[in-house]
Amino acid sequence: MCFKKTGLLWLFALGLLTLGIGGCAETDAPPQESGAPELNLARISAADAEPGNWFTTGRTFGETHYSPLFQINKDTVSSLGFAWDYATGTTRGLESTPIVVDGKMYTSGTWGRVYALDAKTGEELWYFEPPLDGQVAGDACCDIVNRGVALYGDLVYVAALDGQLHALEKATGKIVWSQDTIVDHERLYTSTGAPRIAGNVVIIGNGGAEFDARGYVSAYDLKTGEFKWRFYIVPGDPKNPPEHPEMAEALKTWDPNSRWDVGGGGTAWDSMVYDPDLNLIYVGTGNAAPYPAEVRSPAGGDNLYLSSILAINPDTGRLKWHYQTTPADSWDFTATQNMILNDLEIEGRVRKVLMQAPKNGFFYVIDRETGELLSAKNYVPVTWATHVDMNTGRPAVTQVSKYFSEPKVQAPTDVGGHNWKPMAYNRDTGLVYIPVTELEWLRVNAYPDGYKYEKGMINMGSWNFPTDDATIEAYASFTPYEADYLKEIVRKASPAPDRELLRAWDPVKGETVWEVVNDSQNAWDGGGILTSGGLVFQGNSQGYLRVFEASTGELLKTINVGTSIMAAPMTYTVGGEQYIALMAGYGGSGAWSFPESSAAYTRGNDGRIVVFKLGGGEVPLPSLLEIELFPEPPEQDASLDQIQRGGLKFASRCAFCHANSARNLVPDLRRLTPEKHELFEEIVLEGLLKQNGMPGFAELFSKEDVADMYAFIISISREAYEAN
């Protein structure tokens, strides 16, 4: 290790740098593919010995999103500027943290495409387009994103949206092996997470709990791709024998008459993290399907292993311990958010911990050897529970969480106090930097007259939406309630205003040390975090990269990138020079339309990888777009009833992509051209635009349904036209 933990030594190291003595000079030799040592467990485990590389999504196996590099620090950051950029050829969300090994960058984008670039120049070495088999954009709840690749030996692993796990030759991008990780193609599964290396296997999960997925993770031999094991997260119908012993245990926490047809959920769609010393892979599991516990498992029960952290032995696939953050989840409270492994001194004892800030609003510190809960303080305002009982490890749930018979204003929301955007732990300051969202939203039961499961549709069973009058008026028709009734509930609850912040959190004390409020109206502004050189780096949807001093939160530098940023920056060196890299492109969950404050709105959403270095220039900005007026739609004489019926159908399947707001990721249906008006029914039923990701819905919708939805679209088009 060439870099020490303590603050004093760290300052000392900065001093050396100023004197021109690189603390890690021995690792800064120019990279050479042929001469580079094999990328194996030992090398990744010793990541601190070569801080110029970034080996995993979070740099090390512990995935702290921290780098010991220090050329770029508070004394030098003022000259940080443009080094190079690369056009990804995409127009949707980019969420990956690039990996850089031996001077080459590997990262993923939309659909699971992979880019291999020269990390010094940005020159493309190869590009991989996954051979997608029938998957369409509407099969994904939260955009056709991908959260990264994994590297091991001579292979690069990526999970494409269709759930195919591909192992690519690192030198060429050619497929070495592929495995279909989806067990049931009748259900709407997708893969968007980064695969993880653990022991001799590569592991991948999936998403789809908003539809009808039953979550699991699958493990394959690193070299051959041979299937090794599968760990289901929730039980299947007890009429069938449980697939493995843990499912027999889990079944005891479910009503035998649960809604097995809806799949149960629990999908592990994002974070997994490996501890090579303990030989455990930690898997964060997702929310329930359907959401309301009263519908899903009417007799009650915790419904293991929803919203949990699972510690699994990667050699055997057997569970060592589990911790359930949200028993009987009814609120989309995934525990899939990024987990960080580190040592922390707690009450005089150094503990090997796992840290996570899942959607439910509590920051968990867990002993990762045993699963013992060490701390669970709320890192955002929480109304669904008063606290976590440290004796039982269970949240003390309040009346606010019980929305089944009466709508409630609840915090956090579906968006989560923290979502997929990586937080980072800086071992020099001892702080965790979390991109947090503070929201109190209405939570309503979508089907008080009886839950309906519809194959191929969003099947959540509850809605969660903002409390302003305009949103309530827009959403009320999708609920069984009158807008005035919902407004009255909001008035009585008097929710706090929406806020989006970067919060520096002391994980030992369980308290905020500093915070910066993002100054826009949009609650999804701030991107993932990198901490390095005594600094904190965060991009935002307005298209700026901001750099803060890590101890105080002082804003030291702002760079206009001109493209909206959600993904976490990372850092590496080539030839002794330090670079900061990030992927820029807007989209993802809860971001179907571009807020007016976003760069995506003003400058478009052409995806880019943007790289910075000291002494770099201005970042080239995409040109400003002209605001186009809405076209006049055809006249119609549809009844209000028909328009409302169409609106409900639209909400149940179409709105996830075609939200009713300007400048969408996918076509704004209020801007239909005359040809599209003509072809509307064929597009929706027969899949005329399938190659664009728009499937045919003949199995779901009748011609009458399409006529209703068309009436709804004409109605909102007319509104937009008149408001031009």
Residues that bind Ca ion (CB under 5 A): 287, 332
Nearest distance from C-beta of residue 288 to Ca ion, angstroms: 9
Q: Decide: 338 and 309 in contact? Cβ < 8 Å.
A: no
Q: How far is the CB of 111 from Ca ion (least distance, A)?
A: 20
Least distance (Å) between residue 333 CB and Ca ion: 9
CB of 287 vs Ca ion, minimal distance in Å? 4
Asked about 332 being catalytic, the answer comes back as yes
Torsion sign over Cα 173, 179, 182, 185: positive
Catalytic residue among 332, 414, 498, 708: 332
End-to-end Cα, the chain, rounded Å: 61
**218 or 287: whose CB is closer to Ca ion?**
287
Q: Which is nearer to Ca ion, 57 or 287 (CB)?
A: 287
- Tokens of residue 430, six digits: 């001892």
DSSP 98-158: PEEETTEEEEEEGGGEEEEEETTT--EEEEE-----S--GGG-TT-S-----EEETTEEEE
As measured in angstroms, the least distance from the Cβ of 648 to Ca ion is 21
Q: Can you name the residues that pair with 84 across neighbouring β-strands? A: 611
- Which sign does the torsion angle of CA 452, 459, 161, 334 carry? negative
**Cβ of residue 443: shortest distance to Ca ion, in angstroms?**
14
Q: Closest CB to Ca ion among 342 and 419?
A: 419
- Residue closer to Ca ion by CB (options 332, 440) is 332
CA quadruple 430, 100, 57, 502: dihedral positive or negative?
A: positive
* CA angle, residues 651, 657, 662, in degrees to nearest 5: 100
* 65: nearest Cα among 277, 254, 261, 340: 340
Q: Could you tell me if 10 and 557 are in contact, meaning their C-beta atoms sit under 8 angstroms apart?
A: no
Backbone angles phi, psi at 375, to 5 degrees: -165, 145
Phi/psi zone of residue 715: left (φ > 0), alpha (ψ -120 to 50 degrees), beta?
A: alpha
**545: closest CA among 531, 574, 565?**
565
Question: In Å, what is the CA distance from 175 to each residue of 38, 103, 156, 206, 465?
Answer: 20, 22, 9, 21, 43
Provide the residue type at 6 as one letter: T
Contact 612, 545 (CB under 8 A): yes
Instruction: Measure the CA–CA gap between 137 and 689, rounded to whole angstroms.
Output: 11
Residue 485, Cβ neighbours under 10 Å: how many? Answer: 14
Backbone torsion region of residue 450, taken as left when φ is above 0, otherwise alpha when ψ lies between -120 and 50, otherwise beta? left
Q: Pick the closer one to Ca ion by CB: 80 or 289.
A: 289
Q: Which residue type does 248 have?
A: A
- DSSP assignments along 20-35, one per residue: T--TTGGG-SPP-TTT
- Provide the residue type at 416 as one letter: G
- Residue by residue, DSSP assigns 148-211 as --EEETTEEEEE-TTSEEEEEETTT--EEEEEE--S-TTS--B--SPPEEETTEEEE--B-TTT
The phi, psi pair for 643, rounded to 5°, reads -60, -40
Rounded CA gap, 393 and 370, in Å? 14
CB 417 to Ca ion: min, Å: 14
Alpha carbon 660 to its chain's center: 23
Residue 298 C-beta: closest distance to Ca ion, Å: 22
Residue 266 CB, shortest distance to Ca ion, in Å, is: 10
The phi, psi pair for 346, rounded to 5°, reads -125, 120
Report residue 350 CA to chain centroid gap: 31
Q: Would you give the DSSP letter of residue 73?
A: S
- Alpha carbons 266 and 217: distance in angstroms, whole number: 10
> Nearer Cβ to Ca ion, position 329 or 668?
329
What's the min distance (Å) between Cβ of 358 and Ca ion? 12
CB of 416 to Ca ion, least distance (A): 9
CA 62 – CA 66 distance, rounded (Å): 10
Give whichever of 253 and 287 is closer to Ca ion, judged by the CB atom: 287
Q: Tell me the C-alpha to C-alpha distance, in Å, between residue 392 and each of 387, 388, 395, 459, 701.
A: 12, 8, 9, 32, 48
H or E element that contains 502? strand 499-506
Choice between 353 and 380, CB closer to Ca ion: 380
Which residue, 31 or 265, is less far from Ca ion as judged by CB? 265
User: At its nearest, how many Å lie between Ca ion and the CB of residue 442?
Assistant: 17
Please identify, using beta-carbon distances, which residue of 287 and 518 lies nearer to Ca ion: 287
Distance of alpha carbon 205 from alpha carbon 189, whole angstroms = 10
What separation in angstroms does the CA of 314 have from each of 55, 202, 220, 248? 19, 9, 10, 20
Least distance (Å) between residue 470 CB and Ca ion? 25
Q: What is the rounded CA–CA span in Å between residue 557 and residue 535?
A: 10
Closer CB to Ca ion, 655 or 688, in the complex: 655
The amino acid at residue 615 is G
* Structure tokens that stand for 187 in this block: 């259900």
Catalytic residues: 332
